[in-house]
Amino acid sequence: MSTSGERAVPAVAVKPLLQVAGLRVAYGRVPVLHGIDFAVGAGEILTIVGANGSGKSTLLKAISGVVRASAGSVTFKGESLVGRSVEAIAGRGVVQIPEGRQLFGPLSVAENLELGGYLRGRDGGRAKRLEEVYELFPRLAERRAQAAGTLSGGEQQMLAIGRALVAEPQLLLLDEPSMGLAPLIVREIFEVLARLNREGLPMVLVEQDARLALRVAHRGLVLERGCVVLEGSGAELLNDPDVQAIYFGRRGAG
């Protein structure tokens, strides 16, 4: 996994895969997102960082249909996602891995993975996708008969990612994949994410570890109180004095 932050940035301005424009979300009468604009290109990782309560998770939920937009547009491959159900959006290839993983604890690893492919129906390719997940995460193969609720936190995160991959995502949305995990497991998870991206899977990544997330990102956004206040390449944001002061606890690069 590259840790330099120097990654080639895909040209998203020509034909973005995901386009978010003027997106506003409110919970009741309380506005949360205030006109968010960004695009994600094919093969790109876009990282979104910000303090707790800045609207990061709400932004992912608005894209995936978990919460409704009050204004603005979300288009994927030129098709509007606003107003569509979570199932319809996932069926179009926009798949979210939620914060907290939300596995079916009493079900086995294999059963959780199989549920990831239910939107694909009996397409004949599910067995191949399952084996690809087991190759990516050998620990899941070893524990395929084990109840998901008895796995370690890191193994549960692997299972959540694997379940999403069985759905054949064309865009993966990840909400705090490192939360509560030991550093070695976090590194392993991010190495897998980097590998998937090198193989062509684009991602929108919300992550509490801003340094790590920006290192793997092509581009990044900084949210504050529901607004985009900074954007740039991952390397630019890593070296921005304000980002360093707020998220890394220091001024300057030294």
Rounded to two decimals, what is the model's pTM? Answer: 0.88
> Does an H or E element contain 180, and which?
none
Count of CB atoms within 10 A of residue 218's CB? Answer: 22
- What residue has token string 């090198």? 198
Burial profile 37-75: b = 16 or more Cβ within 10 angstroms, e = fewer? ebbbbbbbbbbbbbeeebbbbbbbbbbbbebebeebebb
Tell me, what's the pLDDT at 239? 92
Per-block mean pLDDT, blocks of 10 residues, the chain (254 long): 47 74 96 96 95 94 96 97 94 91 91 82 72 94 95 94 94 93 92 94 93 93 95 94 80 37
Tell me, what's the pLDDT at 135? 94
Burial profile 10-22: b = 16 or more Cβ within 10 angstroms, e = fewer? bebeeebbbbbee
Cα dihedral 133, 136, 140, 142 sign: positive
**Which one-letter DSSP state was computed for residue 229?**
E
Tell me, what's the pLDDT at 5? 45
- What residue has token string 């793997």? 216
Quote the tokens at residue 6: 């120097």
Tell me, what's the pLDDT at 124? 58
CA atoms within 13 A on the CB side of 250: 7
Tell me, what's the pLDDT at 245? 84
Cβ contact 17:40 at 8 Å:
yes
Tell me, what's the pLDDT at 119? 65
Domains and CATH numbers, the chain: 15-86+172-177+205-254 (3.40.50.300)
Tell me, what's the pLDDT at 1? 40
Measured between alpha carbons, how far is 101 from 210 in angstroms, rounded to an integer?
Answer: 20
Measured between alpha carbons, how far is 227 from 221 in angstroms, rounded to an integer?
Answer: 10
